[in-house]
């Protein structure tokens, strides 16, 4: 997972950061790199018997509960 995260970071740096791609390099697809990272996360969750769906619901409820009134809505 660490390696996949590093590859995502590298593409992000090439696309949006100060570290521009070298002439000898080929720009990797950010979507592909994110999918690789997501696959690694799913494998870790499955091996650890963690329901990512349940964890996601808890996270979203926490964020909405905490941040619901933090920012004014733009009309």
9 in a structural domain: yes
pTM: 0.75
* Count of domains forming the chain: 1
> Element (H or E) spanning 2, and its range?
helix 2-16
Look at residue 35 in the predicted model and tell me its pLDDT.
98
Minimal CA–CA distance to 28: which of 10, 2, 1, 4?
10
User: How far is it, in rounded angstroms, from Cα 5 to Cα 70?
Assistant: 30
Range of the structural domain that residue 25 is part of: 2-50
Q: What is the pLDDT of residues 47-63, one digit of tens each?
A: 999 999 999 999 988 88
Q: What is the pLDDT of residues 39-51, one digit of tens each?
A: 999 999 999 999 9
70 in a structural domain: no
Pair of tokens at residue 14: 């090439």
Minimal CA–CA distance to 37: which of 68, 61, 14, 7?
7
């Amino acid at each position: 997972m660490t390696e996949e995260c590093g590859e995502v970071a590298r593409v992000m740096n090439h696309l949006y950061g100060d570290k521009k791609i070298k002439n000898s390099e080929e720009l990797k697809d950010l979507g592909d790199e994110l999918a690789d990272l997501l696959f690694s996360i799913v494998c870790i969750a499955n091996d650890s018997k963690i329901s990512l769906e349940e964890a996601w619901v808890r996270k979203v409820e926490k964020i909405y509960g905490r941040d619901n009134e933090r920012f004014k809505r733009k009309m």
